[in-house]
Structures are given as structure tokens and as C-alpha cells.
């Protein structure tokens, strides 16, 4: 169905735009869920309308763990695509250093700089030796607690307004046979410790751990609270109740089968597609309802250096796409569907849903560096392994968890 929708959208776009000098620009991305596919189609449509070129859509399944390796292998292997999405962060760091990504500085200069970015730290991962090599196109944050209105109606309690109230409601939920915390198997758990860290541990802890890689902060009292929260969370999660994908958790929340979930704001896109209305069917609490800053990452577009002898029109198409991605129009159309925050706030966001409005308000306090953003993929992988293991194995105590987390941070780069 999703594929069909994309193909249909593409086909409609093709019909109107094929001109005599049209070139193909292959764009890879891992936006395959319903909400995501609809969002990328917005860019495709704008690109084809404004440039008359063809957007060749190469959607790859498996996101950061499945698609990212394919994208990187293709670039390293000498078969680069015209443009690709990747997470804002350090995944492409070495590709940039190896000169495999196109330097976008001239385009940026032509546009008169990037001062319109709401938070300049977003651009840091794109900078290398004075050049700029990627363009962040949205801000995603993991820091959301999603709560099911239906579940709380059933137990006759008001929907919690912060993490502590939520934890207090678990016994009543379990008594009513409702899953306190819905969870999908695999990577979705990897973001949860970071969210608990910024919500419960506070901004200073996030900066100390993620930015400064300070292992003593991990061993400190603030992080202990985070580890204890994760410990209490694992008491209410059982592998039997896990669902295959995060979209399924969204459905559980809408149906009232699960009371809550910590997941990134891209879940909002899926909730929207499934017919959920923010504030009615589900509630969203940024930073667990405790903090006033969000950890931010998001997606960026990279434009690989194309092999010698490539049609200059294709390179021009890259340039055009780069401009469209961060144009006010592109930003608005894309982010409203994607459920992410735009990288510029000089656009009219009154159409955004209540969750996004809350997040936009918090952007003024500045973004905190998320794990994606500040830690190498190697370190992220180790932390993910640790969280997955901790969640399942009750023999690993909170102390063990803290010690192992600290030793990973000690060797982090």
C-alpha cells in the first residue's frame, strides 16, 4: 500500500513535468513508513515542478541499521546516488573527510548564508575544514512521551502530565490489563535511555555525558536516577508483549491497549496517518513533561561527489535540490507531513499539530546534543547493545549498568 502510494504520487508528478532536458536524479532515503513516504513525496513534487527533472526515488528499508550501510557502501564502492538522506550526526563523518561528499559552500554563499537555521549547532556535523557538506532539513527529537487517552479513560484517571505521574499510574493500568509501556523489538529501545537522561537527569547531565564524554557524570547521582527509571521500566516490559515495529505501538496507543511509549516525534506522522488526533486520541509530553529543552538530531541531505564525466545537468539538479530542501516552501510542506520540526521558523507554522507547536516553543531554549548527534556510530552501537541487554536480563543490576555505561563513555570518541 505504502509503495503503491509513493508510486502513484511519483507517477502523477512525472506526468506533469517531463521536459526535453530532464535528467534523472536518484535520491536514496529510508522513509518507508506511511507518514514518512508521504513526506518525502512533498519534496519530490516540488523538485519536479520547479526544475523539470526526474526524481528517481530509491527508498531503502531498515533505517539506520539497514539502509545506512547500503548508502555508505554505495558511496564508498563508487556508485554514488545523486543525493541521499542520512541522520544528522557523525555517521557520514569519514565520508566527508575522505572527500566523497560534495562541498556545498558555493551554493550556501549564493543563498546568502545559513543564518535562518533556528539552531546553528545543527550545522556542526556538516562542517569540515571550513566547508559545509550537508544540509539538515528537519529537527527530530526522541524526547517524547506518548500517552493513550483511551487507556486512561478506561482506568478512570486523568492523563498524566509528566513522567512521575505516569509511573504512578502503572499499577492501576496493569490491574486493568493494559500494557503500561508499549514497545517494539530491536532499535526503538535504543533511544529510551537518552530520553530518560534529558528528562530525569536534566540538561547538564546530557551535556556532560554526550558532549563532554564525562564518565564521572555517568557514575554520579543524577545518572543513577536515570538508570533506576530504566530499571523500573524493564519491570513492566516483557518480551512476549513486544510488537514488530514502532508503528504497531502507535496503533496500540490509539486503541488503548498500551498506555504509553517513549519514541521520537516521527511516531506522530504514523499516528496522524492512522487517524489519531493529538490532544484527543493521544497526548504528547515533550521532555517527559519535566524538562524545557529537547535533545535534537534529525535528518540531513548529502550530495555525493559524482564520478568524472557526469552530465553537468545532473550536478545542476543536485544544486537545485539542495536549494529546494531548505526553502521556506519545501520546509513547510515536508515538515507538516513528517511531524518533525522545520530548521527555520520564519515560516507560517499555524497548521502544525499541537505536539509540534509545543516543540517549536521549546526550540527557543536551544537544542541539547543527542547521542546520534554527538557520539560516533560505534559508541551508539555499544550503548544500544547495552540497553537491549539490560532490558531483558534482570541479572544485570543498576550498578552494573552504570559501570558499563561509564566504561563505554570513557572509551567513546
Find the part of the chain contacting other proteins (CB under 8 A) among 158-166, 232-240, 259-267, 280-288: 232-240
Question: According to the binding rule CB under 8 A, does residue 73 interact with other proteins?
Answer: yes
CB of 17 to other proteins, least distance (A): 36
**35/31 Cα distance (integer angstroms):** 8
Find the part of the chain contacting other proteins (CB under 8 A) among 22-30, 121-129, 247-255, 387-395: 387-395
Burial label, 284 (beta-carbon count in 10 A; 0-12, 13-18, 19+): buried
Q: Beta strands 144-148 and 258-262: pairing type?
A: antiparallel
CB of 253 to other proteins, least distance (A): 17
CB atoms within 10 A of CB 146: 26
Sequence-separated (6 or more) residues with CB below 8 Å from residue 205: 197, 198, 217, 220, 222, 223, 226
| Residue labelled with grid coordinates 524538562 | 291
Cβ proximity to other proteins: between 48 and 257 the closer is 257
Q: Which of 22, 155, 167, 241 binds other proteins (CB under 8 A)?
A: 241
φ and ψ of 261, to 5 deg:
-165, 140
Question: According to the binding rule CB under 8 A, does residue 126 interact with other proteins?
Answer: no
CB of 87 to other proteins, least distance (A): 11
CB of 258 to other proteins, least distance (A): 13
**216/220 Cα distance (integer angstroms):** 6
Q: Which of 124, 154, 320, 392 binds other proteins (CB under 8 A)?
A: 392
Site string for other proteins, 84-103 (x = CB under 8 A): -------x-xxx--x-----
Q: Which of 8, 49, 69, 99 binds other proteins (CB under 8 A)?
A: 69
φ and ψ of 145, to 5 deg:
-105, 120
Q: Beta strands 134-136 and 144-148: pairing type?
A: unpaired
**180/257 Cα distance (integer angstroms):** 9
**341/335 Cα distance (integer angstroms):** 6
CB of 88 to other proteins, least distance (A): 15
CB of 154 to other proteins, least distance (A): 20
Site string for other proteins, 29-68 (x = CB under 8 A): -----------------------------------xx--x
Tell me how far the alpha carbon of residue 60 is from its chain's centroid. Answer: 16
Find the part of the chain contacting other proteins (CB under 8 A) among 134-142, 174-182, 240-248, 290-298: 240-248
Question: According to the binding rule CB under 8 A, does residue 76 interact with other proteins?
Answer: yes
Site string for other proteins, 155-194 (x = CB under 8 A): ------------------------------xx--------
Give how far Cα 144 sits from Cα of 191, 266, 369, Å. 10, 10, 16
Cell representation of residue 6 = 509513493
Question: Euclidean distance between the first and final Cα of the chain, in Å?
Answer: 42
CB of 30 to other proteins, least distance (A): 12
Q: Which of 129, 175, 240, 348 binds other proteins (CB under 8 A)?
A: 240
Residue ranges in contact with other proteins by CB under 8 A: 64-65, 68-69, 72-73, 76, 91, 93-95, 98, 185-186, 238-242, 376-378, 380-382, 385, 388-389, 391-393
Amino acid at each position: 500500500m505504502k509503495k503503491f502510494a509513493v508510486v502513484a504520487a511519483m507517477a502523477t508528478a512525472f506526468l506533469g513535468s517531463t521536459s526535453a532536458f530532464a535528467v534523472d536524479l536518484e535520491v536514496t532515503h529510508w522513509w518507508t513508513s506511511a507518514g514518512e513516504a508521504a513526506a518525502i513525496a512533498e519534496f519530490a513534487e516540488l523538485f519536479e515542478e520547479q526544475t523539470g527533472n526526474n526524481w528517481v526515488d530509491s527508498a531503502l528499508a531498515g533505517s539506520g541499521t539497514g539502509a545506512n550501510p547500503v548508502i555508505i557502501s554505495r558511496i564508498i564502492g563508487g556508485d554514488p546516488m545523486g543525493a541521499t538522506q542520512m541522520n544528522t550526526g557523525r555517521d557520514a563523518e569519514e565520508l566527508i573527510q575522505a572527500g566523497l561528499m560534495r562541498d556545498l559552500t558555493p551554493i550556501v554563499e549564493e543563498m546568502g548564508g545559513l543564518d535562518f537555521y533556528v539552531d546553528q549547532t545543527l550545522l556542526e556535523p556538516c562542517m569540515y575544514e571550513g566547508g559545509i557538506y550537508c544540509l539538515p532539513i528537519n529537527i527530530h527529537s526522541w524526547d517524547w512521551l506518548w500517552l493513550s487517552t483511551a487507556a486512561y479513560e478506561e482506568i478512570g484517571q486523568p492523563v498524566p502530565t509528566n513522567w512521575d505521574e505516569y509511573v504512578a499510574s502503572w499499577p492501576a493500568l496493569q490491574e486493568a490489563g493494559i500494557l503500561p509501556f508499549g514497545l517494539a523489538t530491536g532499535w526503538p529501545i535504543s533511544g529510551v535511555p537518552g530520553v530518560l537522561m534529558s528528562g530525569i537527569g536534566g540538561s547538564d547531565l546530557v551535556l556532560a555525558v554526550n558532549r563532554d564524554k564525562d564518565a564521572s557524570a555517568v557514575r554520579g547521582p543524577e545518572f543513577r536516577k536515570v538508570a533506576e527509571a530504566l530499571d523500573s521500566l524493564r519491570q513492566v516490559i516483557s518480551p512476549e508483549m513486544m510488537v514488530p515495529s514502532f508503528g504497531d505501538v502507535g496503533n496500540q496507543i490509539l486503541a488503548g491497549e498500551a498506555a504509553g511509549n517513549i519514541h521520537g516525534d516521527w511516531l506522530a506522522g504514523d499516528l496522524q496517518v492512522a487517524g489519531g488526533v493529538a490532544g484527543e486520541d493521544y497526548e504528547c509530553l515533550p521532555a517527559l513533561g519535566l524538562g524545557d529543552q529537547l535533545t535534537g538530531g534529525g535528518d540531513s541531505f548529502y550530495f555525493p561527489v559524482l564520478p568524472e564525466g557526469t552530465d553537468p545537468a545532473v550536478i545542476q539538479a543536485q544544486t537545485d535540490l539542495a536549494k529546494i530542501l531548505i526553502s521556506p516552501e519545501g520546509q513547510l510542506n515536508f515538515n507538516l507531513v513528517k511531524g518533525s520540526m522545520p530548521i527555520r521558523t520564519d515560516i507560517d507554522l499555524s497548521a502544525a499539530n499541537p505536539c509540534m507547536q509545543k516543540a517549536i516553543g521549546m526550540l527557543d531554549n536551544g537544542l541539547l546534543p543527542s547521542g546520534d548527534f554527538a557520539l560516533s556510530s560505534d559508541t551508539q552501537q555499544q550503548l544500544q547493545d547495552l540497553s537491549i541487554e539490560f532490558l531483558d536480563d534482570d541479572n544485570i543490576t543498576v550498578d552494573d549498568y552504570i559501570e558499563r555505561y561509564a566504561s563505554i563513555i570513557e572509551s567513546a570518541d
